Amino acid sequence: MTYEAIGMAAAAVAKATGRDRHTLAVVLGSGLSDYASTLPGARSIPYGDIPGFPVPKIEGHAGSLVSADLEGSPVMVLAGRVHAYEGWELTDVVFAVRTAVMSGCSVVLLTNAAGGCGDGLAAGDLVLIRDHLNLAARNPLIGPNDDRLGPRFPDMSSVYPGDLLALARGVGERVGVPLKEGVYAWLLGPSYETPSEVEMARRLGADLVGMSTVPEAIAARHMGAKVVGISLVTNLAAGISPTPLSHADVTATAEAARQRFTTLLDALLPELAKR
């Protein structure tokens, strides 16, 4: 996807929302997509109405962009994402996030459901992503680089900057939603990992395993945005969990944690939008 295509999408978003710029983008992971409609001043556009936007097909991932006004800051919520395991090219996977950054978002909050493999993690935990491991052997920046988007070899030493981690941690404490911290490893899916793959990821430093987020984080950082990542541990990862994994259990845990996640986001979004 070209710079021009992303620009066209950003222009369409500005026209449809009546907001020229947004300051914060939020990608809602599994089970959270309803959150966007509760926000003040919410204006919703189906992804299908935005040129170039891929439209999600998987259950539980609606596809709409919601623009809201949080204490005077325009926030773009991406309710629903597409994944590489659905067969999408990574340029499509990161298209919405690129549109958000081109629309002015200097901070991108990425949320997801993940399996927990770090010490002390339990299903239901909310975990701030301290860093990531790209174990999918794919990268959204492969192909010709457009220097107008970002550099050919972007630095990744601070994708999730410490000041924003501290801010999120503080907000969590203030609203009584405890946040753990860990490293997220991206595996391609859609099969869940084997116990040996989870053990590999764990030994390499992963606390969380999941099938999203990393390509979006790389693309956002490529364009100069700062990233905050929050995982909901929907299950202990394979081999750590005593029972087989099922998508139904994953969505049930996400549903059970929704109120806590919502409380956190209500307090965190206005703070991040001011950064």
Q: Which residues bind ligand HPA (CB under 6 A)?
A: 113-115, 192-193, 209-211, 234-235, 237, 245, 250
Q: Name the minimum Å distance from CB 257 to ligand HPA.
A: 12
Strands (E), 117-252: 126-134, 179-186, 208-210, 226-236
State yes or no: is 231 an active-site residue.
Answer: no
State yes or no: is 235 an active-site residue.
Answer: yes
Q: Which of 35, 47, 61, 79 is catalytic?
A: 61
Contact 270, 71 (CB under 8 A): yes
Q: Name the minimum Å distance from CB 245 to ligand HPA.
A: 6
Measured from the CB atom, the residue of 105 and 209 that comes closer to ligand HPA is: 209
* Cβ atoms within 10 Å, residue 2: 13
State yes or no: is 85 an active-site residue.
Answer: yes
Residue 207: name the closest of 129, 112, 110, 113 by CA: 129
Q: Name the minimum Å distance from CB 206 to ligand HPA.
A: 11
State yes or no: is 83 an active-site residue.
Answer: yes
Measured from the CB atom, the residue of 14 and 245 that comes closer to ligand HPA is: 245
* Cβ atoms within 10 Å, residue 178: 11
Residue with tokens 């992303």: 6
State yes or no: is 106 an active-site residue.
Answer: no
b/e sequence 24-38, b meaning 16+ C-beta within 10 Å:
bbbbbbbbbbebbee
Measured from the CB atom, the residue of 64 and 213 that comes closer to ligand HPA is: 213
State yes or no: is 247 an active-site residue.
Answer: yes
Residue closest to ligand HPA when measured from CB atoms: 115
End-to-end CA gap in the chain: 28
Q: Name the minimum Å distance from CB 81 to ligand HPA.
A: 13
Catalytic residue numbers, as ranges: 30, 61, 83, 85-86, 113, 211-212, 235, 247
